[in-house]
Structure 1
């Protein structure tokens, strides 16, 4: 049951039929791992903490640089040279005391993935490293944990839900098998605009909330849909995916 304070604070969410009080309780009880606290991880963590997600794990081994500030909106010049996860966790804890925020101030490796992923209800990939994407995707499939993937470069972005709880769900490796050499460009090579990251991060947060509040009868959590955003044309495109039965990661699941 929600407290009177929670009912008032989250009233605009609770009044929505697809969330309601039970959905808000589900958010309060949820544990979420956000991998990468940069341009995507900043808005994602802000929106999920603001929505009332009870526990957030923030993982990032990078320190804040001056060039991060135009798009990583939680940080300012006083934070330069400090760890991103530590700074974000401290600021979020102050702004959203309802949420328990834990910083993981190092890059995720296999051991950390196998420790944290089984503990959470959802993982959000906000990284900008292709090897990290493969690692997270593998861990989520192995431990049957939903994964919301986001990426953005230049004016473009993409978002994808992988839900290993559904036997028909494709995974990131189905989309970009390692043998085909997935795209390795990132904002360091192609540049990026902050509003594009806000749009993709917002989509990730929205997808996360829908996954966490779904009661099993809802059909608004769609798998096998790759959403592409073109910021120059201001257009979204959605492409159907299919699980690859010969996928080295999820094919035998």
Structure 2
């Protein structure tokens, strides 16, 4: 990477892209981009983040740069890494090439936990939530099984069709189907407790939290967008369970 090709705009947009694609709040993304730019001598950086894109310019009347965000996930570890790197840039005035190289390395990093570990965590979480919401130990194993199958199915279809809402609908359908079969075979004391525990790994907890935080910070467009996205996810989960109830009235 030559010195001429690394600019402040590239570094700021790359940092914002990593954070936004990892599930960060838009006000946090803008603040990080502004702080990085100011550390390199930019007096009036102009950054604007939405759920699907980033705008950045070095001043009010300078050229504006746009970066599209097409894929989003939840990776709090990457968000923390970018925050830590931004603090290093501000504190130690890292050269542009060094900062850009570190950001590219962060962007290419694989998720902290493997897919098998995520499925295992979803399995245990499903059973524990079933108990927490009032279920019995008889509901624990069926909830674990339903949660494991539903989460794995959601991940599989998300990679195949790349439509998150449809993948969540299919995943919740498998949860309902597995829970209904277990209940009809005599495993589990409460079908409702099994389903409630199993769907919890699919519930959009972080997007809902980020939507509220963005609204409180005055980012109305991003806050409302994330709120609607969370609502659509909840509808997809509920529709999948309702469809199973329609075919298996238990």
Same fold (TM over 0.5): no
Q: Name whichever structure is richer in strand by fraction.
A: 1
Q: Name whichever structure is richer in helix by fraction.
A: 2
Select the structure of larger CA radius of gyration.
2
For this structure pair, what is the TM-score category when the shorter chain's length is used for normalisation?
under 0.3
